[in-house]
Amino acid sequence: MVLQQSFKATINSEYTFENVQSSLDLVNISDRHFHIIKGHQSYRVEVLHSDFSTKSFTIKVNGAIYEVLLEDEYDQLVQRLGLAAVSKVKVRTVNAPMPGLVLSIAVEEGQAVKKGDPLLILEAMKMENVLRSPGDGVIKRLNVKQGEAVEKNYLLIEMD
């Protein structure tokens, strides 16, 4: 499979690469293991954690661990137009982005949370996915318990 798309990538909150337009020769070895060839160089990649809502990932590349934050072309356009501050919509619910098993819950009812705070860990396809708060608010109701299996779009948390 060959992937080609433009991203802004921030590595370990320290290094930023803009207009990354990369073609990757990617082979999926298992659920979270990949083999990548780029510029005649071979890389073994393991996805340790992923959060698709914030496009943040923890990956191991040839034994070294990196925290990666991706911004696609749409994310970059929203920032350039100054719409990021305008687009603060009050979030009332958090739904499961995929079917999985709730490994742990990091919040409780009545707790105030900020955008990006971890809410719970959902295991899907043998990967632990940290679901983070999409906005500021207060946990109104937890509709899930630790160890519970959920389907895609299941209402996990209600917020005020």
Interacting residues of 112 by C-beta distance below 8 A, sequence separation 6+: 136, 137, 138, 139
Long-range contacts of 41-49 (CB under 8 A, 24+ apart): 47/127, 48/128, 49/127, 49/128, 49/129, 49/130
Contact 113, 91 (CB under 8 A): no
User: Is the Cβ–Cβ distance between 50 and 66 less than 8 Å?
Assistant: no
What's the predicted TM-score (pTM) here?
Answer: 0.49
Q: Is the confidence at residue 53, as pLDDT, over 80?
A: no
Q: What's the mean pLDDT when you consider all of the chain?
A: 85
Quick check: 159 and 142 in contact, CB under 8 A?
no
Q: Is the pLDDT of residue 4 over 50?
A: yes
- 3-state class (DSSP) for residue 75: helix
Q: What is the pLDDT of residues 110-156, one digit of tens each?
A: 999 988 899 999 998 888 999 998 888 899 999 999 999 999 999 99
Three-state DSSP at 26 gives strand
Q: How confident is the model at residue 3 (pLDDT cuts 50, 70, 90)?
A: very low
Q: What is the DSSP string of 139-157?
A: EEEE---TT-EE-TT-EEE
Contact 101, 123 (CB under 8 A): yes
pLDDT digits (tens, 9 = 90+) for 72-90: 777 777 777 776 655 455 6
Comparing 111 with 8, which gets the higher pLDDT?
111
Query: How many degrees, rounded to 5, is the angle at CA 16 between CA 122 and CA 8?
Result: 65
Domains, the chain, in order of start with CATH, read: 2-77 (no CATH), 93-159 (2.40.50.100)
> What tokens appear for 81 in the block?
């137009």
Instruction: Kindly tell me if the per-residue pLDDT of 104 is higher than 90.
Output: yes
pLDDT at position 61, please? Answer: 93
Adjacent-strand bridge partners of 80 = none
Q: What is the pLDDT of residues 22-37, one digit of tens each?
A: 567 888 899 889 998 8
